[in-house]
Structure 1
Amino acid sequence: MKKQLLILTFILSLFAEFTYAQGKESLKISWPGEYKWKVGADQQVKNSRMIELIPSNETLKNWTIIGTMLSMQGVKNVPMNTAVKMTFDKMKANSPKARLVIIERDDAAKNPWIIFKIESPYFNNSKTPESQMYYIIQGNASLYSNFVAVKQDHLGPLFVEKWARIFKNSSLVYN
């Protein structure tokens, strides 16, 4: 999955328009405290940063839920449909039975965003299912792709409702 995200980052960086903003932009998400999150990985590659969060008593090799935040500085004006298609195409390459469901979107917002889920019953290299709920938002200076994943073949309505609320309550902040 990390390899897919890094490839996606590279492809999206082709859309980059490098500008010098006066303040540093970031996306603040209030990850629910019930999981007692810890940083499992924090990787910076050129203009992209990926942080993976896992519950404090789990590891990156053995997790039940994982949160991933990907920021791509300088990547601007990416249509939400393009971001979703690129994400789903990467998943389909390794999980041919993956299903995409758009949950909610606002393309007319000052900062367009979309929430969708990808449910995968298995992968080419693993029989373990995994479903992910994504939140992608176009910032003024960066594109942010965030998701939460569980090892299940589908996401139930309560999970979807909870995480849609969490993602929609996020905010772009400027330092």
Structure 2
Amino acid sequence: MKSQFKIIVLFAFLLCNNSNAQSNSNTETFTINWPKEEGWHIVDQQNNAEQTTTMIVSLKGKETIANCSEIATTYICRGSMYVPIEKKMEELFQPLKYAQTAKRTVIEKDEKAKHPWFILKIEYSSESQIWYVIQGKNELYCSLWSTYQKEITPKSQEKWVEIFKSSKITAE
């Protein structure tokens, strides 16, 4: 993985970890409809020491972390208090001040939805990402798709925006 990607991933993990508060007794489930024809599957899942944040890493087909062309990561931040979407976006962009070649673009957002969300893209010289962040009642969900290309094609952007927007939060 590239150093900029590591900075963003680490920051997202810390962002979710620091957003935690006491959780209600209701449990939420976040579901993304990964493209079945591409064979997306979980290759790693870890919880932080406090069990407040889960990181799930997925790859497509038979790719491995060492040879992947694309990678998807989801962070589930339990007991997360509501923070305005604009503030979450700024927190996510904070580490980019050190990556001068990074270009960030907000694709879509809905602050008034039942579960406020935003989708943005971040493009570096050797890697690009599309982020989807959605605030549930008790959890914050941050998902990203990353490719080792300088720019995200319009076709890829359209595909991943559709995938992320079709995700669902359900209460159990």
The 2-side partners of 1:99 and 1:2 are apart by: 16
Post-superposition shift, 1:62? 1.4
The 2-side partners of 1:4 and 1:119 are apart by: 12
What's the secondary structure of 1:34's corresponding residue?
helix
- Work out whether 1:42 is the aligned partner of 2:45: yes
The 1-side partners of 2:55 and 2:32 are apart by: 14
**Displacement over 6 Å in runs of 4+:** none
Normalising by structure 1, report the TM-score. 0.87
Post-superposition shift, 1:34? 2.5
1:15 paired residue among 9, 19, 25: 19
Q: How does 1:149-168 map to 2 (within 5 A)?
A: 149-168=146-165
Root-mean-square deviation (CA, aligned residues, Å) is 1.7
Post-superposition shift, 1:119? 0.3
Q: How does 1:1-175 map to 2 (within 5 A)?
A: 1=5, 4-22=8-26, 24-45=27-48, 46-93=51-98, 95-121=99-125, 129-175=126-172
* Identity over aligned pairs, percent: 31
Q: Does the 8 Å CA contact 1:88/1:118 hold for their aligned counterparts?
A: no
Q: Does the 8 Å CA contact 1:119/1:130 hold for their aligned counterparts?
A: yes
Post-superposition shift, 1:2? 5.1
Q: Does the 8 Å CA contact 1:8/1:90 hold for their aligned counterparts?
A: no
Q: Does the 8 Å CA contact 1:26/1:173 hold for their aligned counterparts?
A: yes
Q: Does the 8 Å CA contact 2:80/2:139 hold for their aligned counterparts?
A: yes
Number of residue pairs aligned between Structure 1 and Structure 2: 166
Normalising by structure 2, report the TM-score. 0.88
Unaligned runs of 5+ in 2: none
